[in-house]
Structures are given as structure tokens and as C-alpha cells.
């Protein structure tokens, strides 16, 4: 059975997720200094990038968005389009244009007009031998012409998120309108190395091809990437594949993918000065020594608590969970909790069809991983479904009052609706209680101040009254005794002026 969220249910879902996010962010956490992002790395090439092939995290970059000529690493994009659009067992025929529309002296596998090989054989010849006429033949077989195939290349690059690249041919030969950036080509390489069919071709070190116009018998082509060859001093343990490139304008270019301990890394070197292998090794060593890759769903439980008790459809239970298999890149000594989270409901056509929200994880202001919040497999979110104007059947609450809506929520057994109403009620009650306590505190403080002021006034009045009384007594003593302190004793001791005789 399929459940579809749209209209009021979808809005209710979004509101509930906002409430969950607010409460999760309000939980106090122990403050601890995060491990700084390692940066002890430098390369000599003009442009380069180190990217986690699984999470897409840019671990290191130099001139990430500066344009460079890619040379023959272009053939990675050509091969990716071919394996996605063509049957490997199809037969292609070399045209005159495919064979001769190349620069004189450029790399060739010896094919001439009229030669025929399968798409499978052509892919080995193009990726291992870097044969330019084979790239042209594959382009014509897939799209009808080199120009039409270039349009497919630009469409594919745009779909992968490339914004500063433009491709004019399938081989990478010099053209002023044929350029890319380290970041853009890392996105292309990430998509290519996520395709098992492409990896099968690109990880091969040699392949035997049938005869052609130049080779009378079967002949073997070998890969040009020295880090893939175990007998080379450039061999790199854990390497998966890659592609070399060189023209006088592009300089040395190199794409490499390697994996160790569950961490799969991609490097791109552009405009290298014969240091493309040492630059690649330096970036890979730096990445494997300092970083690790973790499954997001194993660590982030913030959004996985939306269980059956949150009945978002009103009648049927549903579970929302973080998309499994998505990863994040972290410094080896960092904790997953050190990452910050960004939740967005603004989804587009590049997001999974059944996603409810996109979650990005950031560390030291860089994106280290992305995942999506999805419902169970039997629940479908229809983001495009919206009620039409005037269609009351799409929204049963369209013409009902708020009180009627509340009654209907409780009458219909809408668990999520009741939960939200109760939660909002608790928040409102708490807010009102806080306001009441604040007002009571203000009034008590005011009464206390008024009482202290009145008491002070009363005491001042009492003191003034006492002073006035004491002054009054002194002022009414107008006798001579008051002004002659010893007058009374003087009268008692004084003799009469006349004394009676006898």
C-alpha cells in the first residue's frame, strides 16, 4: 500500500519536523574545541583537488574554480556517457572524419576509415591507449556527430553540478572552448568511479584488440597511468583507476582514484609541470593519513525518533529515517558531533524523488557530507501535489472555523494533529506562566520599594516632630531662671533685705 503526503498532511509534516529540529538544537551539549581541519599539504601544479569519492567532501584544493585545459582526461567523461547510453556489444565503424579530425602526431591506435570494432573494444582502446580517433568514432556512434556528442558532454557536466566547464570534443585536444576546473572535473570523476562498468574498463592495465588497418594481427594496448602498474616505481597500493593527459597548452593532467580502509579518494591535477605523479601521491598520502569516512546514519540519531507514534497521515503509521549509505568525511581525531547541521526543505529535481528534506553536515565551514530524510519505502511524498483553488474536496477544512478544525482533529483520531495541539498548548501555557511570574516579580519589587520609601518618610517626620517639641519647651522658659542658670539657688541662699527683730 502506498501513502501520499500532500496538501495539509505535507504541511503538517514540515511543521512537525521544524518542532523536532528546534527541540534537538535546544538540548544542551558539552562545549569542546573541535579538531582543526588538517592543512599540511601543498602541490606544485597550478590546479588540483583531493575529494572524498563517496561524500563529495573537498579535503584539499588549489585554484578549485580556475579554468584549465584538461587534455586527455576528457576521455573519462566520454567513456561515462558511452557506458550509460550505448550497448557494449554494438559495432561501430570508423568514418573518415573520425580518423582524420585529430591533430597531426596525436595518440592513435592505428584505426583507419572503414575499420569496425565493438563499443567494448573501443572503450579499452580509448581509455588504455588514449586513442583520439577512437574517441571520435565513439562520439559519432553515440550521438551521430562529434558536435552533437559535445552537446551531450556539456549536458552531462551540468547535470553533475559543473558550472565552469565547457567541452568541444570527446578526446581533449586543444580548443579554446574546451576547458574545465579542478572542482568540476572531480565531480565528473566522482560520477565515473561510481559506475561499476566504467571502473571495470578503467582499472584494466592491458587488453588485447583484434587486427586493424595498421596492425595485421591481434595487438595489446596498455594503460598509461603509471600508478596502476605494479612493476612501476610510481605504483600506488590501493589504486582503482585513473587517466593521464598532456598537450603543450594543457601541460600534464592526471585523474586518480584510490581506496584504503574504506576511504575512497579522487585526485585531479591540472597544468602540472612534470610533477603530476608526485602531486597526486602527496594528496593521496595526506588524505589517507588524516581523514576517515563515516556512515551518517550510524551517528546521527537526531531525526530517527520520528516513529510510528507520529502518525503523519492521520490514519496510517509511517517512519521517517535518514537515508542509509550516505557518508561524511572527518579528520581522524574529530568526533561526528563536532559537525554542524543544516536542514532544508527546498528540494529540487536533483534530490531523491521521495525525500522530505535535505540535511547537510559542515565542519570548519566546509560541506563534509549530505543526506536526505525519507519515509519508509511504502510511503510516497508528492511534493508537486497541491490543492486547486476552489476545490473543497482537496481540503476538508477549507471553509471551517478554527474551532471546527480542532473538533475535527480530535474526532478523527488525528494523532499527529492532537500531538501538535497539545505541544503548542504546553508551550503557550509555559510562556504565559513565565510572563505571569515576571509581572509578579516586578510588582513585588515595586511594592517593596514603595514600602521602604514610605518608612523612610515616616521616620524623617518623627525626627522632625521631636526636634520641634524640644525647641518649644526651651522657647517658653522666659523667666530669669532660664537665662540665669543659678537664679533659684541664689534666691534660696539670699538673706532678706529687712530682718525682724526679737
Distance CA 264, CA 261 (A): 8
> Which tens digit of pLDDT belongs to each residue from 63-79?
999 999 999 999 999 99
Residue 224 grid cell = 598509461
pTM greater than 0.85? no
Look at residues 305, 374, 295 and name the one whose alpha carbon lies nearest to residue 336. Answer: 295
> Which tens digit of pLDDT belongs to each residue from 86-97?
999 999 999 999
Q: What is the mean pLDDT of the chain?
A: 82
Please say whether the beta carbons of 322 and 341 come within 8 A. Answer: no
pLDDT-derived band at 392 (thresholds 50, 70, 90) equals very low
Higher pLDDT among residues 421 and 250, named by residue: 250
Q: Which of 170-184, 373-387, 456-470 has the highest mean pLDDT?
A: 170-184
Average pLDDT over residues 119-136: 98
Average pLDDT over residues 169-183: 97
* Residue 99 half-sphere exposure toward CB, CA atoms < 13 A: 16
Quick check: 133 pLDDT over 60? yes
Please say whether the beta carbons of 417 and 12 come within 8 A. Answer: yes
pLDDT-derived band at 348 (thresholds 50, 70, 90) equals confident
pLDDT-derived band at 475 (thresholds 50, 70, 90) equals very low
Percent of the residues in the chain that have a pLDDT greater than 70, as a whole number:
71
pLDDT-derived band at 3 (thresholds 50, 70, 90) equals very low
Q: Measuring CA to CA, how many Å separate 219 from each of 87, 110, 125, 216? A: 23, 11, 11, 9
For residue 404, the model assigns a pLDDT of 53
Q: Measuring CA to CA, how many Å separate 320 from each of 17, 132, 171, 401, 487? A: 10, 50, 46, 31, 110
> Which tens digit of pLDDT belongs to each residue from 211-244?
999 999 999 999 999 999 999 999 999 999 999 9
Please say whether the beta carbons of 146 and 136 come within 8 A. Answer: yes
For residue 448, the model assigns a pLDDT of 74
For residue 353, the model assigns a pLDDT of 83
Average pLDDT over residues 406-423: 60
Residue with cell 596492425: 215
Quick check: 380 pLDDT over 80? no
pLDDT-derived band at 470 (thresholds 50, 70, 90) equals low
Please say whether the beta carbons of 149 and 180 come within 8 A. Answer: no
For residue 46, the model assigns a pLDDT of 97
Degrees, nearest 5: CA angle 189-260-183 = 25
For residue 170, the model assigns a pLDDT of 98
Percent of the residues in the chain that have a pLDDT greater than 90, as a whole number:
57
Least confident of 3-7, 51-55, 57-61, 440-444: 3-7
Please say whether the beta carbons of 497 and 491 come within 8 A. Answer: no
| Helix or strand holding residue 472 (H, E) | helix 415-476
For residue 91, the model assigns a pLDDT of 97
For residue 24, the model assigns a pLDDT of 52
Specify the pairing of strand 3-5 against strand 379-381. parallel
Please say whether the beta carbons of 52 and 257 come within 8 A. Answer: no
Average pLDDT over residues 267-295: 97
Average pLDDT over residues 41-61: 97
For residue 436, the model assigns a pLDDT of 85
Quick check: 13 pLDDT over 50? yes
φ and ψ at residue 94, rounded to 5 degrees: -75, 125
Distance CA 40, CA 286 (A): 8
pLDDT-derived band at 433 (thresholds 50, 70, 90) equals confident
At what angle are helices 132-143 and 74-85 packed, to 10 degrees? 40
Average pLDDT over residues 364-388: 72
Please list, residue by residue across 303-323, b when 16 or more beta carbons sit within 10 angstroms of its beta carbon and e when fewer do. beebeeebbbbeeeebebebb
Least confident of 378-392, 459-473, 476-490: 476-490
Quick check: 478 pLDDT over 80? no
Least confident of 29-43, 87-101, 130-144, 342-356: 29-43
Higher pLDDT among residues 440 and 162, named by residue: 162
φ and ψ at residue 80, rounded to 5 degrees: -60, -45
* Residue 496 half-sphere exposure toward CB, CA atoms < 13 A: 4
Distance CA 392, CA 382 (A): 19
> Which tens digit of pLDDT belongs to each residue from 108-117?
999 999 999 9
Amino acid at each position: 500500500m502506498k501513502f501520499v503526503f500532500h496538501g495539509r498532511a505535507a504541511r503538517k509534516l514540515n511543521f512537525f519536523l521544524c518542532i523536532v529540529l528546534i527541540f534537538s538544537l535546544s538540548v544542551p551539549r558539552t562545549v569542546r574545541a573541535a579538531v582543526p581541519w588538517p592543512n599540511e599539504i601543498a602541490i606544485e601544479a597550478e590546479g588540483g583537488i583531493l575529494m572524498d569519492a563517496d561524500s563529495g567532501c573537498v579535503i584539499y584544493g588549489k585554484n578549485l574554480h580556475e579554468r584549465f585545459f584538461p587534455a586527455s582526461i576528457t576521455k573519462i567523461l566520454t567513456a561515462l556517457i558511452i557506458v550509460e547510453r550505448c550497448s557494449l556489444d554494438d559495432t561501430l565503424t570508423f568514418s573518415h572524419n573520425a580518423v582524420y579530425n585529430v591533430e597531426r602526431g596525436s595518440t592513435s591506435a592505428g584505426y583507419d576509415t572503414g575499420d569496425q570494432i565493438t563499443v567494448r573494444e573501443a572503450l579499452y582502446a580509448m581509455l588504455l591507449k588514449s586513442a583520439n580517433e577512437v574517441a571520435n568514432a565513439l562520439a559519432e556512434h553515440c550521438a551521430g556527430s562529434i558536435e552533437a556528442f559535445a552537446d551531450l558532454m556539456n549536458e552531462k557536466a551540468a547535470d553533475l553540478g559543473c558550472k565552469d566547464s565547457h567541452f568541444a570534443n570527446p578526446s581533449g585536444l586543444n580548443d579554446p572552448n574546451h576547458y574545465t576546473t579542478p572542482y568540476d572535473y572531480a565531480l565528473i570523476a566522482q560520477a565515473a568511479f561510481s559506475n561499476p562498468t566504467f571502473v571495470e574498463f578503467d582499472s584494466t592495465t592491458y587488453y588485447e584488440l583484434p587486427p586493424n588497418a595498421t596492425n595485421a594481427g591481434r595487438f595489446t594496448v596498455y594503460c598509461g597511468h603509471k600508478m596502476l602498474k605494479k612493476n612501476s616505481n610510481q605504483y600506488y597500493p590501493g589504486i582503482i583507476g585513473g587517466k593521464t593527459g598532456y598537450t603543450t597548452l594543457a601541460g600534464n593532467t592526471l585523474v586518480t582514484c584510490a581506496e584504503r580502509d574504506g576511504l575512497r579518494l579522487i585526485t585531479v591535477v591540472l597544468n602540472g609541470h612534470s610533477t603530476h605523479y608526485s602531486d597526486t601521491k602527496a594528496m593521496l598520502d595526506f588524505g589517507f593519513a588524516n581523514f576517515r569516512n563515516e556512515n551518517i546514519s550510524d551517528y546521527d540519531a537526531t531525526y530517527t525518533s520520528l516513529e510510528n507514534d507520529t502518525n503523519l497521515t492521520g490514519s496510517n503509521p509511517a517512519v521517517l529515517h535518514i537515508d542509509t549509505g550516505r557518508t561524511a568525511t572527518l579528520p581522524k581525531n574529530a568526533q561526528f558531533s563536532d559537525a554542524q547541521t543544516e536542514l532544508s526543505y527546498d528540494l529540487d529535481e536533483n534530490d531523491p524523488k521521495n525525500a522530505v528534506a535535505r540535511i547537510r553536515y559542515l565542519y570548519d565551514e566546509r560541506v563534509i557530507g549530505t543526506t536526505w530524510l525519507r519515509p519508509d519505502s511504502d510511503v510516497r511524498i508528492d511534493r508537486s501535489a497541491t490543492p486547486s483553488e476552489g476545490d473543497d474536496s482537496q481540503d476538508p477544512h477549507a471553509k471551517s472555523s478554527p474551532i471546527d478544525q480542532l473538533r475535527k482533529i480530535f474526532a478523527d483520531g488525528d494523532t499527529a494533529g492532537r500531538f501538535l495541539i497539545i505541544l503548542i498548548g504546553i508551550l503557550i501555557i509555559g510562556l504565559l506562566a513565565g510572563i505571569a511570574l515576571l509581572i509578579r516579580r516586578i510588582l513585588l519589587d515595586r511594592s517593596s520599594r514603595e514600602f521602604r520609601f514610605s518608612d523612610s518618610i515616616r521616620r524623617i517626620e518623627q525626627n522632625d516632630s521631636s526636634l520641634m517639641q524640644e525647641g518649644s519647651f526651651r522657647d517658653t522658659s522666659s523667666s530669669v531662671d532660664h537665662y540665669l542658670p543659678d537664679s533659684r539657688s541664689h534666691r534660696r541662699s539670699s538673706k532678706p533685705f529687712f530682718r525682724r527683730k526679737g
